[in-house]
Chains A and B, each alone.
Chain A
Amino acid sequence: MPPASDTEILYAKPESLRRTRTHFCAGCGHGIVHRIICELIDEFGIREKTVCVAPVGCAVLAYNYFDFDTCEAPHGRTPAVATGIKRVLPEHFVFSYQGDGDLAAIGMGEIIHAANRGENICVFFVNNAVYGMTQGQMAPTSLVGQKTATSPKGRDPENEGYPIRVCELLATLQAPAYIERVAVSSPRNVRRAKKAIRKAFQTQLEGRGFSLIEILSPCPTYWRVDPVTAMKELEARMPPIFPLGVFRDGR
């Protein structure tokens, strides 16, 4: 219904987000991150010059939600595909969207080297400490003691090592321009996440190089808790291992 002239729209579907039914589980963090990205694409007015590279993971269907050009990539190769696009379309806004299995396990080589080349792209890295799409296996970011389909007694550092801190790892490199870790665990943190993602957008649009925003996000389904509990656990358990904050700002 068209708004009457004396009403102000406070909350609406971003233009860049398609009106479609979601496939994400109730309480999943991916939907929040999708929405933030679309709000910012609208805010910057860059829908028509954006190219997204979607991961293999629960966000594989990104192109069903994003109403701008979107490409599939083989599992973990997302930053390489984004590199191939950005190098020939330097004026376009190119971002890769990845989960923790995609980025920190099978795609570790691609992310480190894209960061190290200072590719002028944004990476939105959703860390939910588990492999969602393949039904809840251990991820490189699973917490010590976390029970998953492949660590039924809890992640044991003796056998499978410790969670990988991607922001800290990439911050050892010289080239990256902006690296921050946020969480979508509360309205306040969602606003902070949006601010960080906005900074990443600006970094690329100003040609300053590689940025990565790690977003701590709930997967209620494979944490095997209800959505509200998942948010509480996210806020209580993840930041002690994955501290929120800025790891690189400017070169």
Chain B
Amino acid sequence: MGAKILMTGNEAASEGAIQAGCMAYYGYPITPQNEITAYMSLHMRERGRVFLQAESELAAVNMVLGTSAAGFRAMTSSSSPGISLKQEGISYLAALELPAVIINMQRGGPGLGNIAPAQSDYWQATRGGGHGDYRCIVLAPHTVSETFTTLMLAFDLADKYRMVVLVLGDGRLGQMMEPVELHNAAPAVKVDKPWALNGCKGRPSNKLHSLLLKEDDLEELNTRLQKNYKKVEANEVRFEEVDTEDAEVVMVAYGTCARLCKEVVRHARDEGIKAGLIRPITLWPFPAEPIRQAAARGAKFLFVEMSAGQMIEDVRLSLEGAAEVRFYGRTGGNVPRWDAILQKTREMMPYSPLRRT
């Protein structure tokens, strides 16, 4: 067990990547994730690892592609506009079945937007984002110390499934400070990479390519990818539940909004409202099962997001009208206020004296 130190989410993410054995980091400046680039520039080279400030996000993600193709753990990070630029590379990484970790500390959009926190890249993250039928594993930590451990998990999952793992945070999570326990991680999962391009000594030469001109060959790749995604859906769903057993209103929120909702659950319970929270940790694969179970118990749902309502669509799909589902969100980089969420919760409870609808 290591010492507890005060650090930002961005720094915790960086340190998590370093502890996970990330051998190369490629970045490009964009707020609110600049602390990652700065931290990595300070700590990677002193460990004999690679840090490079790329000329663009396009270049950065393709440097990750090269390093991963050579068989090494690699990462890049950015915020929303930069993540849009990385989508081409992410699609290629998915097609080449290359592991990679990419952090998105989301900010307000669309367009240049602003540098305030947001959660409006959920669709882009969970639907693939670039061209073609592919998925990324999407992890959403909600505290600084969870951000640290999430990065270690991200590298292991990336190697295990040969997939891109996106860590989806936001500007607030990236920039706030909390104490973090930097336990020196056990050596991360070590996976053989017989496909790596590291010189064909003692083996036939390897080639990594996604150009498959014969329809059946490309279909075979797609079938293999989908089979792998099914395995991830079966084995890697992660979530946290707070007071859901008897909850009549279940909030569903991730990341920064989930922190707020934990508070709201407490306040609501003080008022006699049976509130609970389901916090997806993996946004893909999405934890539909705990939501279905809460619906079967008769719960209503309140979705809280810093977007116009993106994650809510995943639940609408899985519930198909089986429960009352409401949404509360803020956009433009605004963070919902806990008392506004509480008011929404009251409005869903006919017995609450404080409801005003």
Contact = CB atoms under 8 A, between A and B. Distances in A.
Given A51-B70, A74-B89, A87-B24, A80 B205 contact: no
A124 to B, nearest CB: 17
Interface string A76-89: 01001111111111
B198 interface: yes
B283 interface: no
A63 B69 CA distance: 15
B65 A69 contact: no
Interface residues of A, number: 36
A69 B67 CA distance: 14
A68 B26 contact: no
A49 B211 contact: no
Contacts of B207: 63, 69-71
Contacts of A248: none
Interface residues of B, number: 39
Contacts of B55: 109-110, 112-113
Interface stretch (B56-64, B173-181, B339-347): B56-64
Contacts of B268: none
A81 to B, nearest CB: 4
Nearest to A117: B52
A120 to B, nearest CB: 13
A89 B66 CA distance: 10
A71 B211 contact: no
Given A85-B70, A88-B23, A88-B72, A80 B200 contact: no
B69 A84 contact: yes
Given A77-B89, A92-B198, A84 B62 contact: yes
Nearest to A73: B62
Interface string A179-198: 00000000000000000000
A110 B199 contact: no
Contact of A72 (B26, B56, B72, B92): B92
Interface in A50-98: 50-51, 53-54, 60-61, 63, 66-74, 77, 80-89, 92
A69 B205 contact: yes
B205 A66 contact: yes
Contacts of B72: 88
Contact of A113 (B59, B206, B210): B59
B24 A85 contact: no
Given A71-B208, A74-B89, A110-B55, A81 B62 contact: yes
Contact of B63 (A68, A71, A81, A92): A81
Given A77-B59, A84-B62, A88-B23, A47 B67 contact: no
A81 B69 contact: yes
Contacts of B54: 80, 113
A84 B208 contact: no
B56 A51 contact: no
A110 B205 contact: no
A67 to B, nearest CB: 5
A162 to B, nearest CB: 24
B199 A49 contact: yes
B205 to A, nearest CB: 5
B198 A74 contact: no
Interface in B178-210: 197-202, 205-210
Contact of B67 (A48, A63, A70, A84): A84
B50 interface: yes
Contacts of A84: 24, 26, 62-70, 74
**Most chain B beta carbons < 10 A, residue from A60, A86, A89:** A89
**Most chain A beta carbons < 10 A, residue from B66, B72, B198:** B66
Interface string A31-50: 00000000000000001111
B96 A89 contact: no
Contacts of B64: 84
A49 B211 CA distance: 24
Given A74-B88, A80-B58, A88-B24, A69 B198 contact: yes
Contacts of B65: 73, 77, 80-81, 84
Listed from nearest, the 8 A-B pairs whose CB atoms lie closest are: A84-B66, A80-B62, A84-B63, A63-B207, A113-B55, A77-B62, A69-B197, A72-B209
Interface of A: 47-51, 53-54, 60-61, 63, 66-74, 77, 80-89, 92, 109-110, 112-113, 117
Given A50-B199, A67-B200, 9 more contacts: A51-B197, A70-B207, A71-B208, A85-B197, A87-B66, A89-B199, A92-B198, A110-B55, A113-B55
